[in-house]
Amino acid sequence: MASLAAPITHANQVLASLGSDLHVHLLPGIDDGARTVADGLTLLEKHYQSGIRSIVATPHVRADFFLNTQASIRAAWELIYPEAQRQWPDLRLTYAAEYFADDYLMSLIEQEELLPLFDRYLLVETSMNRESPYLSEIIRTLLDKGWKPVLAHPERYRPWHKRPDRYAELHEMNVIFQVNLLSLAGVYGPAEKAMAEKLIHLGWVGAVGSDLHHPNQYHYIQKAVQNPFFQMLNDVPLLNHALLHTTRNE
C-alpha cells in the first residue's frame, strides 16, 4: 500500500500534464471495475505517482447491467475516500457516473437525478456495436436542459468509424469528445487507436480519461503517454485542466 513517503520522481509523473482523470472505474464493487477497496486504492496510488491530483470516479450506470443510483455510488465512494484522504491528502477524489444512453438515463434526466463530473458536465456513453436509437435524442435533451454532454470514448464506437458525419454532427452540437488513454495505447485494437488519433488531429478532443478498470491495466498508461498524439494534447485546453481549477469538495 502506498504512503506519502513513496518515491516520486519527475520521470514517472507521466500524467502530470493532465493532472486529473475524469473517467475511471475505481469505486469498489459496483460495476465491472475495481472489485475491492484494495484494488481501488492501488489505482489511486498509481495515479498519484503518475502526477494525477484530481480524480472523478465514474462507475457505470445502465439499465441492463449496472443499475447504480446516486446512493449506491456515494456508498462505494465512502468505502474508499477516508483511506485515500489519509494516504494522499492533496489528492481530490470525487464521484460522478458514466451514463449509458438508454431509457433509464432518460428517466434520470426527467427526475434530475444526475451526477455531473463537475459544473454541468455529464459523462455519457453509448453502444460500441450498434447505433443507439437513444443517443441523439438524449444529447439534445441534455443540451436543452443546460447540461454539457461529455461523450466517453467516441473512438470506440465501431459503427461510426465509417460515418465521419456522425462525429461532425456531435462535434457541431458542442458535445465534448473524451478519448481514452487506453485507446492511445492500442488496447482495444488498431481501429480504435487510429480513430482516437484522428480525433486529436482534428482538434475535436476536449477531455482525456484513463477508463481504467483494474490495476493490472496500468502498464498501458506508460505506452499511451509515448504516443505522439498524447503529446499533441499538451497544447489543448482540456476539461481535465478546468477540473483542476474547480473548488468542489466532497
Binding residues (CB under 5 A) for Fe ion: these are 98, 211
Whole-number minimum distance, CB 200 to Fe ion, in Å? 19
Tell me the C-alpha distance between 63 and 130, whole Å: 17
Whole-number minimum distance, CB 209 to Fe ion, in Å? 7
Which of residues 12 and 160 has its CB atom nearest to Fe ion in the complex?
160
Whole-number minimum distance, CB 149 to Fe ion, in Å? 15
Which of residues 164 and 189 has its CB atom nearest to Fe ion in the complex?
189
Q: What is the DSSP letter of 66?
A: B
Cβ proximity of 210 and 4 under 8 Å: no
Give me 202's grid cell.
482534428
Which of residues 171 and 213 has its CB atom nearest to Fe ion in the complex?
213
Give me 47's grid cell.
495515479
Whole-number minimum distance, CB 152 to Fe ion, in Å? 6
> What is the side-by-side order of every strand in the sheet holding 148-152?
60-61, 98-100, 121-125, 148-152, 176-180, 205-209
Tell me the C-alpha distance between 53 and 16, whole Å: 8
Which of residues 32 and 110 has its CB atom nearest to Fe ion in the complex?
32
